[in-house]
Amino acid sequence: MADTDTTDDTGDRVPTYPDVPDFLIETWNLRRRALSAGRGEALPGLDVDLDALAGTPVPPSEDPPPRMSPHARKRFDIRRELAGHSELAALNGLLIAHLRKARFPRRAPHLFRRIWQHKADALLAELPPRWLISSVITFGDHGETEDQRRIGLAMNVFFSLMKLYEFERLHSGQRPDQMFSARRVARVPLPLGMPGFSLLSGGLDVNLLAQIWSLAKDEPVAGRIACKLLDMLNEDPGTLFRRIALMRHSLDDHRTAKAARAAAGP
């Protein structure tokens, strides 16, 4: 078994990440280098015909040029992934790739917002969930209004943590739609002294979802993307929220049956 001790030989606590926050920020910034473009590789203008892009599919296969700038490489990868989808979807993906960097073309945020202000119906109908997630979190840094930025930031934290804990679950051997036992709980404290969560009386899952949904339901741009994703999440049988709901029902049924047996007597 691997050593999971979090202390060194002197008994001092060992940090998960060394030299914080500098180490984390430097690592993060390495991933945010601008996608430099070669000659003739500029983004389309703000007046590009969005209807034409929405009606034109990305070809099923394209040969990569022999030498590619970072911009061209990213464009090629996105178009390969979104082959068969519209050119509008591919442009949206390329704009997101630029807007995740520390520096990006000046027109990129304006063009990204214009796409979602005028062609949201088309993109909501065709984009895979992963690209809907990438789109909504881009509003966290580049939304036009405070509400758009708040929705984007909330969805960024929400789906980033969701991806981490669902990835960790894979190592448990549990299927995504298989709940853990509701009656077998390890008696160990939660990190940072946080109080435990009660399956029957706790409302953390409801509070988390309700706050985001409440903010998103009346926002017509980023909010529309967020609401679609939350609806999809609500219907997905393989999420933490569905497993928590199943555990809650299981524990409630167990306690109801136990009370009925006690009432019936020997």
Give the tens place of pLDDT for each residue, 31-42: 999 999 988 899
pLDDT in the model for residue 113: 98
CA 137 to chain centre: 7
pLDDT at residue 9 in the model? 59
Label residues 152-183 b or e (16+ Cβ within 10 Å = b): bebbbebbeeeeeeeeebeeeeeeeeebeebe
Residues 60-88 have a mean pLDDT of 91
In this prediction, residues 223-236 reach a mean pLDDT of 97
Helices 108-118, 87-99: axis angle to 10 degrees equals: 140
pLDDT score for 196: 81
Q: Are 84 and 33 in contact (CB under 8 A)?
A: no
When comparing pLDDT for 69 and 252, which is higher? Answer: 69
pLDDT score of 201 more than 90: no
Q: Indicate if the alpha-carbon torsion angle 84, 85, 90, 93 is positive or negative.
A: negative
Q: Mean pLDDT across the chain, nearest whole number?
A: 90
Q: Which residue has the higher pLDDT, 180 or 68?
A: 68
- The CA distance from 149 to 253, in Å, is 42
Distance CA 57, CA 47 (A): 20
In single-letter form, the type of residue at position 134 comes to: S
Mean pLDDT across 7-25: 81
What pLDDT does 3 receive? 44
* Weakest-pLDDT range from 31-45, 47-61, 104-118, 242-256: 242-256
Element (H, E) at 54: helix 50-54
pLDDT level of residue 8 (50, 70, 90 thresholds) = low
Work out the average pLDDT over 168-190: 80
